[in-house]
Amino acid sequence: MDLMKEYSELLQIHESMRKELEETREQLAKLLNGAQKSWEELTLKHQDTIGELGQAKHELELAKTQLAETKENLIAEKEKHMKRLTAESGLGQQDASQAAELEFAEDLVKLRRESMREMERMAWVWAREKERWTRERAHLQQALALARDEWQLEKRQERKEWERERHEWLNRVAMLSGSRGDDEDEEDDDNGDGSGGDDDDDDDDDDPASGAAGAAEGLFRSFSSF
């Protein structure tokens, strides 16, 4: 009875350890899933940022094209303006050309300043988004690495604890089985019956202690996959 009671207590302890391991696994799985979702969200944000920057780049190219067209239009307007000034005021060809070139140069300077400001703004937006994405990516990679290390460490510790408990349980079962066998040998000596030895051998085959030891061994093997 003592052996069966001991075996029942060992089963309860092992079941408690198994439940704690399952809870730990669920917590680690939730942590890994959360990190994975954050990583996917960050990737989507990065893709959106790349799309916005691509759109801005396209708009900048359009602005450059418009600037070139405006430049051509200004050249045409300059020629018309020169002819008009020459016809209306009777100024010399050189004075009219200088006045038109001055006006044209001022317009070009304004357009160049606007284009440079737009390019600087886009470069600043690009650098800011790239820095933010790099920082968030490094943070998520660190979180994933920590979660993976914690899970592996927990797994190794649980494995060591199982092995230790396994050896302790088997040793205790073996000790209990041995002490019970000694008691039966003493009873056989007191009886002095020669046929009693064969009966004892038959009893040893049905010994609950040896059956409990085998059951304990099988139990540990069944949970060794965790």
Q: Rounded to whole angstroms, how far apart are CA atoms 56 and 62?
A: 10
Query: Which pLDDT value is given to residue 185?
Result: 58
Distances (CA, A) of 119 to 49, 64, 114, 191, 222: 17, 11, 9, 107, 67
Write the CB contacts of 2 (distance below 8 Å, at least 6 apart in sequence): 176
DSSP conformational letter for 226: -
DSSP string covering 84-99:
HHHHHH---HHHHHHH
Q: Rounded to whole angstroms, how far apart are CA atoms 194 and 76?
A: 132
Query: Which pLDDT value is given to residue 205?
Result: 47
Give the pair of three-digit tokens for residue 73.
Answer: 């239009």
Nearest to 226 by CA among 160, 169, 148: 160
90 phi, psi to nearest 5 deg: 70, 15
Q: Rounded to whole angstroms, how far apart are CA atoms 13 and 154?
A: 19
Q: Rounded to whole angstroms, how far apart are CA atoms 13 and 165?
A: 10
- By the 10 Å C-beta count (0-12 exposed, 13-18 middle, 19+ buried), 209 is classed as buried
DSSP conformational letter for 193: -
- pLDDT tens for the chain, 226 residues: list them: 566 777 777 777 777 777 888 888 888 888 888 877 878 887 787 777 777 777 777 787 887 788 778 878 878 777 776 677 666 555 555 665 676 777 778 888 888 888 888 888 888 888 888 888 888 888 888 888 888 888 888 888 888 888 888 888 888 877 877 765 555 555 555 554 444 444 444 444 445 445 555 555 555 555 444 4
Amino acid of residue 147 = A
Query: Which pLDDT value is given to residue 213?
Result: 52
Please, are residues 143 and 85 in contact by the beta-carbon 8 Å criterion? no
Query: Which pLDDT value is given to residue 32?
Result: 80
Query: Which pLDDT value is given to residue 75?
Result: 80
